[in-house]
Structure 1
Amino acid sequence: MAEASHKQAAKAHEDAAKAHHTAAEHHGKGDHKTGAEHSEKAHTHSESAHKHSTEAHKKSGQHSKG
Structure 2
Amino acid sequence: MMFNWLSLITGLFYIALGIVVIVYKFFFTLLEPAIAYTLGAVLILYGIFRIYRAVSKIKNSGNEE
Once superposed, what is the RMSD of the aligned Cα atoms?
2.0
Gap regions ≥5 residues in structure 1: none
Runs of 4 or more, structure 1, over 4 Å off, are: none
Match of 1:14? 13
Instruction: Percent identity, please.
Output: 3
AA matched with 1:40: V
Give the TM-score normalised by structure 2.
0.63
Give the TM-score normalised by structure 1.
0.63
Task: Give the deviation of 1:25 after TM superposition.
Answer: 2.0
What is the number of equivalent residue pairs in this alignment? 58
Q: Which has the higher helix share?
A: 1
Q: Distance in 1 between matches of 2:34 and 2:48?
A: 20
Gap regions ≥5 residues in structure 2: 26-31
Bigger Rg, which one? 1
Aligned pair 1:23/2:22, yes or no?
A: yes
